[in-house]
Amino acid sequence: DQECHDSDGGQQSSENTMSQSNQSRRLQIRTHTGWMECRHDIGTFASSLLSIYESLKPSEEHMSKQSRLIDSLTKSVTKEWPNAQLHLYGSCANSFGTSHSDVDVCLEIEIGTGSEVELLLRLAEILRGDNFDSVEAITSARVPIVRMLDAGSDFSCDICINNLLAVANTKLLKDYAQIDGRLLQLASIVKHWAKLRGVNETYRGTLSSYAYVLMCISFLQLREPKILPCLQSGYGAHIYHGC
């Protein structure tokens, strides 16, 4: 009897140990150096963070004003260059924008015998003639742009020339955002935190918003099981397009 009692007690003790182990693991996250214990109240932050995320999302009115601005710019540009195309890029187009995001536009155009600077100066003249406000050609920047303000929407807009890599990167981030909604939630909160802390400006030696989004994508790709695939690889692309 004593032997059976000890055996049963040992089994019960083992079950308790396993239960405690499972409970402990639920409060841990895996890092590149091993397991790290989470705060015991980590789950209580979820509703507040999701409320912040919802407040950051651009409204339908915001998106409608953005579309009208692009239509106006397209009319101005195609009068001078009928074959030119305008592409939205950056946070205003990659799904990670907020109601405070500016508008970034890439003008895809055949430059021909002229220079990029000459084309930007001509673009600035056209926009001034079409009554856009505060039009300025900034030709000394690393990426030369025309900066302007649309009075109808109160949007600030930067227009660059043939920066097609940025357009492609925008499409890539938008594809990632469509795979799992948790990426948008995570990246929006991280970007908001970085902005509040003043650590989202590259000219001050910190990271760009784009870099924070990439870090969030990488984080979700490294979970077990993976939350996001790698769309740059053939295998990841196969998973995504097969969804």
Mean per-residue pLDDT for 159-179? 96
Q: pLDDT tens digits, residue range 65-91? A: 999 999 999 999 999 999 999 999 999
Residue 157: predicted pLDDT: 94
Q: For the residues of 86-147, what is the DSSP string, one character each?
A: EEEEGGGTSS---TT--EEEEEE---TTS-HHHHHHHHHHHHHHTT-EEEEEE-SSSS-EEE
Kindly list the structural domains of the chain, giving each domain's residue range(s) and its CATH number in brackets, ordered by start: 60-164 (3.30.460.10), 179-229 (no CATH)
Pick left, alpha or beta for residue 165 (phi over 0 → left; psi -120 to 50 → alpha; otherwise beta).
alpha
Q: For residues 150 and 5, which has the higher predicted lDDT (pLDDT)? A: 150
Residues of the chain with pLDDT > 90: what percent? 59
Q: pLDDT tens digits, residue range 91-140? A: 999 999 988 888 999 999 998 777 899 999 999 999 999 989 999 999 98
Mean per-residue pLDDT for 236-240? 45
Mean per-residue pLDDT for 228-233? 88
pTM score of the predicted model? 0.75
